[in-house]
Chain A
Amino acid sequence: MKKKTILIPTDFSVKSLNIVKSALSINGDCELRILLVHGLELPDSMTDLLLFSKKKLLEELETKEFRASCQMLISKYDSNLIELSVDIFSGYNKRAFENYIEANEVDEIYALADHDFLPRHKSSFDLMPFINKSSTNLIKVKWMSLGENFKQERDELSGIFFNQLSSI
């Protein structure tokens, strides 16, 4: 099986995990390493930097529903999902992002076509400008809600269900 690394921008909403779902269903024949990346500026004060812990920060950012959804995805795509990891990108320019992509050997980037970014943290920033300018293969997916009345929930567990991939 081919191996592939996919980068997906996330704002820690359950909704953004739908991209993971589509990436996994499109690449059914590949072994995937999926990197969920969130843009976050590192604190610039001395004490904050000293006490900085990525693990703690991620724990703070991930909601219970987000974690449960990730686990559901893992149990669904057990055989072709090698790794699903969450990371923080804290570079300031396009060059830094390119370096990050190169370092993590990213093959493809998946993003939502109707991307609406909602900062989870006060120093969160949107990765889309970097992704759009990046030279890596970008695949945009569009999701459609199944119910007439359903607005897709951002943070509820049902956000990962009741919708379908409408276009790539």
Chain B
Amino acid sequence: MKVQNKIIYVLIVIFVSYTLLYSGFIYYSISNYAFTDFYKRLEIRAITTAKSQLEHESDVNIIKELRQEYLEELQDEEIRIFPLEGKRNLPLDHDISNYKVSFLEEVLAEGKANYNDNKTYYYGTVYTSTSNKDYLVIVSAENYFITHHILYLRNLLFTSLVIALIIILVVSIMFSRRIIKPINDIIDKVKEISSDNLYLRLSTPKENDDTISKLAQTFNDMLNRLETSFETQKNFISNASHELNTPLTSIIGEADVTLSKIRKPEEYIISLQTILEDAEKLNKKTKALLLLAQTGFDGKGQRFKKLRIDQLILDVIDTCEKINPSNKVCLDFSLLPEHPELLKVNANEALLHLAISNIILNGCKYSDGKPVHVALGVADKEIILIIKDDGIGIPKEEIKYIYDPYFRASNTKNYEGYGIGLPLARNIVKIHKGDLQVSSEANKGTTVKINLAVYGTQLNK
């Protein structure tokens, strides 16, 4: 069964049973009240009639007046008075056979009793006059309220029940749709995401912290991890193939040209030297790639451990210089905190190494041999890492696309690259619950700021 239908059924059952109980209670108590009230009215009529017919003149007038003035005639009202011989004996009157025997016996035994057959209500009482004679007084009348008003009430309750049912149906359908909608949205959005567009994320409303947005957030975290691992590999493969291809092409070309005809020994020496140079380059590059591979995923999940960020940065700079000896990196540790605990982060060393080295290498690449500046400081449980270069920068209108994979700014035509480094770095920083910001101006350089939480704390954003 669909969850939406389930919600509708449950809601309808709850609301209908509640409404039924409620209207049943109203119906029962109103009719109950109507019965007692009507017998009370009959009682008053019985006593006043008996008094007015059986008592002395002087009292009777007032009662008669009162009765005429304040007690209106009931429908089919009939009052019969039978004189009683003894307390227990039924009067011998043929009219008395109109009444139920059990009712008459109850009247004689208890002093008063009542019963009803469908429309007509009977009330009987034993009246003792001032001259100490007993009379059996029986009043019968039709209960107009029960026959008409209660019927009306019942119809009213039934119609309101039907209306309530319709309202409940509409409300529960709307309610269930509202509840289900965000989940359906998430499902639709997740269906859109495939390995081609892993950079897509679910939208998570910031202000509320309910289960749905937590679900979306969890999906996003999962996508972050997925995307990172995808791109680490893509990054590596594309880097590797390209880097290896260039010297290989030149070796093949050189050898081809040399072999095209018989040459003098000097020429062979020169061309072999060129080939050797290229082969050495190739060797250097494979070594660098090996290094890169070592910093990538080990395929066994991400292991987080406590490590010192300053040590990591020194390692990264070492790697960067190994990859390309012409890279110049200036370190500014002037605001390194006194307390070493403030430099510890909970991080996956390989991943964070990859992220920071990507950013520093980017800086080196786009600043044409000018030094890249790296600074580290700790502010209130927050490690701040600033990487600043003097390079070509990013045009202002393109800065919002820099986190899209494979996006390359318009001024990067002269530089090799694949547009993977920065999104990858950002994802890695996100996995570490950190924050990465890029500010840049075309031709003036780029500043990347990475905020990471000190070990054992959370970054407050």
Q: Contact residues of A with B, CB < 8 Å?
A: 21, 67-73, 75-79, 146-150, 156-158, 160-162
Stretch at the interface among B87-95, B197-205, B380-388: B380-388
**From B371, which residue of chain A is reached at the shortest CB distance?**
A147
Judge whether B390 and A161 touch: CB under 8 Å.
no
- Cα A158 to Cα B386 in complex, Å, equals 7
Judge whether B335 and A21 touch: CB under 8 Å.
yes
A-B pairs with the 3 shortest C-beta distances?
A71-B379, A161-B375, A72-B377
Shortest Cβ gap from B336 to chain A (Å): 6
Stretch at the interface among B49-57, B179-187, B444-452: B444-452
Judge whether A76 and B390 touch: CB under 8 Å.
no
Shortest Cβ gap from B376 to chain A (Å): 9
Shortest Cβ gap from A65 to chain B (Å): 10
Judge whether A78 and B388 touch: CB under 8 Å.
no
Judge whether B337 and A76 touch: CB under 8 Å.
yes
Which of A69, A78, A79, A148 is within 8 Å of B379, CB to CB? A69
Q: How large is the interface on B (under 10, 10 to 19, 20 to 34, 35 or more residues)?
A: 20 to 34
Shortest Cβ gap from A93 to chain B (Å): 37
Judge whether B330 and A161 touch: CB under 8 Å.
no
Point out the residues of chain A lying under 8 angstroms from B330, CB to CB. Answer: 146, 162
**Beyond A147-B373, A156-B439, A161-B377, is A72–B335 a contact (Cβ under 8 Å)?**
yes
Chain B 357-406 interface residues, beta-carbon cutoff 8 Å to A: 370-371, 373, 375, 377-380, 382, 384, 386, 388, 390
Point out the residues of chain A lying under 8 angstroms from B447, CB to CB. Answer: 156, 158
Judge whether B373 and A146 touch: CB under 8 Å.
yes
Shortest Cβ gap from B256 to chain A (Å): 45
Shortest Cβ gap from A120 to chain B (Å): 21
Point out the residues of chain A lying under 8 angstroms from B378, CB to CB. Answer: 71-72, 75-76
Point out the residues of chain A lying under 8 angstroms from B439, CB to CB. Answer: 156
14 inter-chain pairs at a CB distance below 8 angstroms, sorted by A residue, are: A68-B380, A68-B382, A72-B379, A72-B384, A75-B380, A146-B332, A147-B445, A149-B444, A149-B445, A150-B388, A158-B447, A161-B334, A162-B330, A162-B388
Main secondary structure of the interface of B (DSSP, over half): strand
Shortest Cβ gap from B430 to chain A (Å): 20
Point out the residues of chain B lying under 8 angstroms from A71, CB to CB. Answer: 378-380, 382
- Cα A70 to Cα B384 in complex, Å, equals 13
Point out the residues of chain A lying under 8 angstroms from B380, CB to CB. Answer: 68, 71, 75
Point out the residues of chain A lying under 8 angstroms from B371, CB to CB. Answer: 147
Which of B337, B386, B388, B444 is within 8 Å of A75, CB to CB? B337
Beyond A21-B335, A72-B377, A161-B377, 15 additional pairs, beta carbon < 8 A: A68-B379, A68-B384, A70-B379, A71-B378, A71-B379, A72-B379, A75-B338, A148-B390, A149-B370, A149-B444, A157-B449, A160-B377, A161-B335, A161-B386, A162-B332
**Beyond A71-B379, A157-B384, A161-B332, is A78–B444 a contact (Cβ under 8 Å)?**
no
- 1/0 per position for B426-448, CB-CB distance to A under 8 A? 00000000000001000011010
Point out the residues of chain B lying under 8 angstroms from A158, CB to CB. Answer: 375, 386, 388, 447, 449
